[in-house]
A = this chain, B = another copy of it.
Amino acid sequence: MEKPEIIMAPGPTPVPPQVYLAQGSPLVYHRGPGYGAVLREVTDNLKTILRTSNDLLIFASSGTGGLESAVANLFSPGDRVVVPVAGYFGERFAKIARAFHLDVRVIDYEWGQAVRAGDVSTALDEAPASAVLMQQSETSTGVIHDVEAVGRVTRDRGVLLVADVVSSLGAVPLDADGWGVDVAVGGSQKAFSATPGLAFVSVSDAAWAASKTATNPRFYFDWAAYKASYELKTPENPFTPAISLMLGLQAALRLYMEEGPEEVLSRHRILSEATKEGVRALGLDLFGEHSERAWAVTAVRAPEGVDGNELVAKVRADHRIILAPGQGPLKGKVFRIGHLGYYDRFDIIRCLAALEMTLEEMGYPVKRGAAVAAAEGVFASR
């Protein structure tokens, strides 16, 4: 017997049966009250989870499309933006900004470091900038950047703050309006456990004002078109939406709201702690600053003599569990365990058991059951 592979990479994440059933349900025609109600419900739930009263727009695209939409709608060629880069997705945001001919001031960090608000402040002091573009969760390192602290810097100076929350939203705390996030960009396939193919952005008044004068070209991702269609008597998309994915996201968000946003966050915190204690109990070192807030992804240093990529490949081949390898400079040196989304205690225990067995086979000294025991200890203390 072969069960399907188990995804414990940071997205896409496992999908609840309710979401699969919704995706396999009859299409709701995209013009009319049926789809209008779906769009409104999904929009409202996303706003609740983001903690924003700003407009929220949904695209048929992956998260990267949402990031591009921010660059295309907010800026004109030559606009200066500050982009802290502490991993793969920081690099991606900088690349998008360069592709749209912005003047990109990168703040370079070693991968694994957390962005420091003081550095952003310094970069903004050098020369005026239109915006700061940053991640909340740098998926490649697992590090959660302090968006709240950066928000204090940008708000003081009237600079826009654009936050990529694709792999953090719903898994770690976020208060978009409270922290002064002008544009938050999220995706369907992370903590919500829907499947990939939908991106969304929240847009503050200041961001709308910037978009009015921005000359970068956009059509498919033109925010104004999505807003106008949403504000019809029966909300619509300007272009045919990914209806089945919207039905899936609707089901996923219902599950999320039934559990309750605070409860979901608490679950992510506990599963993250259990994962980290389990890994530590095997004598492995965590990677990245502030691992205590890395509730979405646990990044682990591959131990001496073990190649991280080989470990990930072997766990997949032997146990059908998909971890994520290190990217860029971390290739082979780090592996990552995703635990954002539809996970419970036994998903973590299963994963730690697979890790124990695989490390032992690779010649690393393992005390069988040690990681699982440590995780049980975390669960027992709750």
Contact = CB atoms under 8 A, between A and B. Distances in A.
Which one of A21, A64, A101 has the highest number of Cβ atoms from chain B below 10 Å of its Cβ? A64
Interface in A186-241: 187, 189, 195-197, 216-222, 239-241
A15 B26 CA distance: 8
A243 interface: yes
A171 interface: no
B7 A27 contact: yes
Nearest to A97: B219
A178 interface: no
A63 B60 CA distance: 10
B23 A23 contact: yes
A61 interface: yes
Interface in A66-125: 68, 71-72, 95-96, 99-101
A62 B221 CA distance: 11
Given A99-B218, A222-B99, A242 B23 contact: no
B26 A96 contact: no
A62 B195 contact: no
Nearest to A13: B27
A53 interface: no
B219 A68 contact: yes
B217 A64 contact: no
A150 interface: no
Contacts of A59: 61
Interface of A: 4-5, 7, 9, 11-12, 15, 20-21, 23-27, 29-30, 32, 34, 59-65, 68, 71-72, 95-96, 99-101, 187, 189, 195-197, 216-222, 239-245, 248, 316, 322
Q: Which 4 A-B pairs have the closest CB atoms?
A: A24-B24, A197-B242, A4-B26, A20-B24
Given A60-B61, A62-B240, 6 more contacts: A7-B29, A20-B23, A20-B24, A32-B322, A100-B219, A196-B241
